[in-house]
Amino acid sequence: MKMEGFQINYTDLSDLFWEYKRKIENLIENIDNCIERISMFTENAVFTGKTGDAVKSYLGEAHITILSGIKVTAQTLLDNMAAYKAGYRVIDSSTNFKLDEEA
């Protein structure tokens, strides 16, 4: 049984890249907003005391650290996708190429 080969269409790759780029940039913007809100809360002088300080510490140390890690990962994914897309332009500089499995 022979499997069908694949074909990479630059236009499909480009469309997918721009779609993901918008989504990832939106994710990064939302993460920045979350970090800003958490920071505003942790810097709020009204919420104090032993429990308040513990909650603020936890939010700062755990949640901001996690969100920052997700942000870095999302940006790295976006950068890698851009490099991957650019790599196909090295193979064929046109924007309409189709690269077959056998190529």
Q: Give domain status of residue 51, yes or no.
A: yes
Q: How far is CA 92 from CA 9, 65, 72, 81, in A?
A: 11, 41, 31, 17
Q: Which domain holds residue 52?
A: 26-92
Per-residue pLDDT tens over the stretch 76-96: 999 999 998 888 777 777 767
Of the two residues 98 and 62, the one the predictor is more confident about is 62
Whole-number Å distance between alpha carbons of 96 and 101: 16
Mean pLDDT in residue range 65-79: 97
pLDDT at 102: 62
Q: Give domain status of residue 39, yes or no.
A: yes
Q: Give domain status of residue 79, yes or no.
A: yes
Q: Give domain status of residue 58, yes or no.
A: yes
Q: Give domain status of residue 10, yes or no.
A: no
Number of domains the chain contains? 1
Q: Give domain status of residue 5, yes or no.
A: no
